[in-house]
């Protein structure tokens, strides 16, 4: 099989490419250039897509003896990930750019280009497992629970999953580093990237302010309706946030306050005590299924953050706007068995049946 190995320059994608080669596939390494102005060096474990990363990926490819190319996808990444990220925060929602990147870049733009060039599949260094099931290929959690990335892969549909390989899913991260060292890869001890890759210093609010400008507004107590503070842009807040509110605790009976809602239209941020954060009802839109869509009401596990706990839940797909088959869309309704704090519109809910990923949806509304 002819396979494109997506090589970020890190240890995971390096070992993934090597394993695909060991399995007998014809492998070509591809590094995605996602930044229009790539930096020369990474800043520790922050950021990615630097000239250094491209060089690290090329050296691994050379050691493996496989062809290596850099594909420029900066335009698509800017449009589908970065611009979307800004627009979502401006609208008062909290997006997950890693899901969007997987959906739009790695398993849409990259896979589409690979197929157009005559390749059969794409392999990445994500920690997840693909299992052959009775109805086709299934996406499952990785063996290493601490590194499991099935949540951010929940946007893959059945056709994309059929063309995807995740060679690391049956191995723990320490074992991957040991294997990389044994193979002589210089990236064996390279630190993992974390946070949002295009915000290298980790200051999301500052980064958004540079692009959206200051927009002064009110901070309002959700229960009393009293204005208790001011902010410089509602886009800089997300539900569940405690730090950075700029409030005097003494003026709020000494109890900590959290963001309970963001009204982008009126540029207002609502705060309240922790008891107002629990959500038990979630409605999602733009659902994507890793296999057949569930029929009727089903019991599932629901995960609402990349590293969040899986919560037992009941889920169902409901028709709306004219009904299924009549030009309307459907929505995913999830009722959680127990409340989850800090769930915000724009985040994703990913459903599981045991270790199998059923599908995902973008959270539109929540209720207590």
Active-site residue list: 101, 197
The 3-class secondary structure across the chain, one letter per residue, is CEEEEECCCCHHHHHHHHHHHHCCCEEEEEEEECCCCCCCCCECCECCCCHHHHHHHHHHHHHHCCCEEEEECHHHHHHHHHHHHHHHHHCCCCCCHHHHHHHHHHHHHHHHHHHHCCCCEEECCCCCEEEEECCEEEEECCCCCCCCCCHHHCCCCHHHHCCEECCCCCCCHHHHHHHHHHCCCHHHHCCCCECCCCCCCCCHHHHHHHHHCCCCEEEEECCCCCEEEEECCHHHCCCCCCCCCCCCHHHHCCCCCEEEEEECCCCEEEEECHHHCEEEEEEEEEEEECCCCCCCCEEEEEECCCCCCCEEEEEEEEECCCCCCCCCCEEEEEEEEEEEECCCCCCEEEEEECCEEEEEEEEEEEEC
Instruction: Report the relative pairing of strands 68-72 and 356-367 from DSSP bridges.
Output: unpaired
d(CA 139, CA 359): 9
- 8 A C-beta contact, residue 196 and residue 88: no
Distance (Å, whole) CA 256 – CA 251: 11
For residue 209, the Cα-to-chain-centroid distance in whole angstroms is: 22
Determine contact, residues 142/127, Cβ cutoff 8 Å.
Answer: yes
Residue matched to tokens 């630190």: 191
């Amino acid at each position: 099989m002819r396979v494109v190995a997506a090589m970020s320059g890190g240890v995971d994608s390096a070992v993934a490419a090597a394993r695909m080669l060991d399995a007998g596939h014809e492998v070509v390494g591809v590094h995605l250039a996602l930044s229009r102005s790539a930096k020369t060096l990474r800043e520790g474990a922050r950021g990615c897509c630097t000239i250094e990363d491209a060089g690290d990926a090329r050296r691994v490819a050379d050691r493996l003896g496989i062809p290596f190319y850099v594909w420029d996808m900066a335009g698509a990444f800017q449009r589908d990930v970065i611009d979307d990220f800004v627009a979502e925060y401006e609208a008062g929602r909290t997006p997950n750019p890693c899901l969007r990147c997987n959906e739009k870049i790695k398993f849409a733009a990259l896979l589409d280009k690979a197929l157009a060039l005559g390749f059969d599949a794409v392999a990445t260094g994500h920690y997840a497992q693909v299992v052959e099931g009775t109805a086709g290929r299934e996406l499952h959690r990785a063996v290493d629970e601490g590194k499991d990335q099935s949540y951010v892969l929940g946007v893959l549909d059945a056709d994309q999953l059929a063309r995807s390989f995740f060679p690391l899913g049956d191995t723990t991260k320490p074992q991957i580093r040991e294997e990389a060292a044994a193979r002589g890869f210089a990236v064996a001890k390279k630190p993992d990237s974390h946070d949002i890759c295009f915000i290298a210093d980790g200051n999301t609010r500052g980064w958004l302010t540079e692009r959206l400008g200051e927009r002064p507004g009110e901070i309002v107590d959700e229960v009393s309706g009293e204005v208790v503070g001011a902010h410089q842009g509602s886009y800089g807040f997300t539900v569940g946030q405690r730090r950075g509110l700029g409030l005097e605790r003494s003026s709020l009976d000494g109890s900590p306050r959290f963001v309970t809602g963001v009204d982008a239209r009126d540029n207002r941020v609502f705060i309240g005590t922790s008891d107002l954060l629990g959500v038990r009802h979630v409605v999602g839109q733009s659902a994507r299924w890793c296999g057949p869509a569930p029929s009727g009401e089903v019991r599932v596990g629901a995960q609402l953050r990349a590293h969040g706990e899986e919560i037992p839940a009941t889920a169902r797909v409901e028709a709306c706007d004219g009904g299924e088959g009549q030009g309307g869309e459907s929505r995913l309704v999830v009722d959680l068995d127990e409340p989850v704090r800090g769930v915000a519109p724009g985040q994703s809910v990913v459903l599981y049946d045991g270790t199998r990923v059923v599908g995902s949806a973008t959270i539109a509304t929540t209720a207590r």
